[in-house]
């Protein structure tokens, strides 16, 4: 409904499954939007030669990742990058895409809460189970 060709539960995911669904290839771009270590490990296993892993969420303080340095950089030339925000130009373009209807975000909003419910909203987000996007309406 929102444009994905395939959706898998993390429980069912592996790099082998990705290869089967993607004509024998891994992903050219992997976006890690959680600080969960299993997702980070899966990203390293899921990126194709010459691909990129974009980290879009911080991990717990003190967390460490063991990298197979030679395999990732010399054999496969993987690019690692991070982003946690966009530039003013990025925001402008995103708002134009949303405003024009080319990008549909309405269906991504799972919860619409009033300002008095903000504590519940933060709890939903931190639990990361039943929410995708939580919107707070201060005027409610």
Residue-level pLDDT at 86: 82
In angstroms, the CA 140 to CA 8 distance is: 36
**Beta-sheet strands, E only, within the chain:** 27-32, 47-55, 79-82, 109-114, 133-137
Among 128, 86, 91, 136, which Cα is nearest to 111's?
136
* Token duo for residue 59: 């991990």
Can you give the pTM of this predicted structure?
Answer: 0.73
55 burial level (CB within 10 Å; 0-12, 13-18, 19+): buried
pLDDT at residue 35, rounded to an integer: 87
**Tens-level pLDDT at each residue, the chain (140 residues):** 777 888 888 889 999 999 999 999 999 999 998 888 999 999 999 999 999 999 988 888 898 888 878 887 888 899 999 987 788 999 999 999 999 988 888 888 999 999 999 999 999 988 878 898 999 999 87
């Amino acid at each position: 409904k929102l444009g994905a060709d395939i959706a898998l539960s993390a429980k069912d995911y592996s790099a082998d499954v990705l290869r089967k669904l993607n004509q024998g290839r891994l992903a050219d771009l992997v976006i890690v939007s959680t600080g969960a270590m299993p997702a980070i490990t899966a990203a390293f296993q899921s990126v194709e030669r010459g691909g990129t892993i974009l980290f879009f969420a911080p991990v717990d303080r003190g967390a460490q990742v063991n990298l197979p340095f030679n395999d990732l950089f010399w054999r496969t030339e993987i690019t690692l990058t991070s982003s946690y925000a966009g530039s003013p130009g990025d925001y402008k373009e995103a708002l134009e895409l949303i405003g024009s209807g080319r990008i549909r975000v309405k269906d991504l909003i799972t919860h619409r809460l009033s300002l008095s419910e903000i504590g519940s909203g933060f709890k939903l987000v931190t639990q990361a189970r039943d929410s995708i996007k939580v919107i707070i309406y201060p005027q409610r």
